[in-house]
Amino acid sequence: MTTQQIKELLEKYFAGDTSLDEEQTLRHYFTGRSVAPELQTYRPLFAFFEKAREEQLHPAFEDRLIGQLDRGSQPTARIRPMYAFALRIAATVALLIGLYFLVPLATTDHHGDAMAINWDKYEPASEEIALEETKAALKLLATKLNRGAKAATAEINKMEKVSKPLK
């Protein structure tokens, strides 16, 4: 066969479109003595397939396999039912004791009825009073923020003075 025909058969082979006769032709070509240099990379693949076809299982393999399967079907040792039951009870008791000590007890105060807070006395009497209180609160907030900004600016200036000699 020509190298071009073998290349076409290889393309069909890797696409999965070859017949058994064509695959036999490829195996025969690659296990032969004269393989084209550009096709040498495929030679180990087909040599492996040929070698794998020749391998046979040991004659006693089937008997050993059936023997192991028969031995594997025997019942395995089980934990005695009383022992398992006692183990479950011990685990439950240990869990309950652990929960008793780890989870804090919820205590409720039964000294009197809880009173609701009357928020009406904190409401401003009019919109003008509410506006004045809001302005006062915002002025206080701005004062505190400005004081913090001034302190931060002073610290940054100190850091710049320290870092100037390092540059």
Please report which confidence band the pLDDT of residue 133 belongs to, taking 50, 70 and 90 as the band edges: very high
25 Cβ contact list (under 8 Å, min separation 6) = 1, 9
User: How far, in Å, CA of 47 to CA of 31, rounded?
Assistant: 6
Alpha helices in 32-163 (DSSP H): 43-54, 61-72, 81-102, 127-163
> Which residue matches tokens 């393309």?
11
Q: What is the pLDDT of residue 128?
A: 94
Q: State the residue for tokens 């409401």.
A: 123
Model confidence pTM above 0.75: no
Q: How is the chain split into domains, by residue range?
A: 3-54, 132-167
pLDDT digits (tens, 9 = 90+) for 62-93: 888 888 887 766 566 666 778 888 899 999 99
**What per-residue confidence (pLDDT) applies to 76?**
62
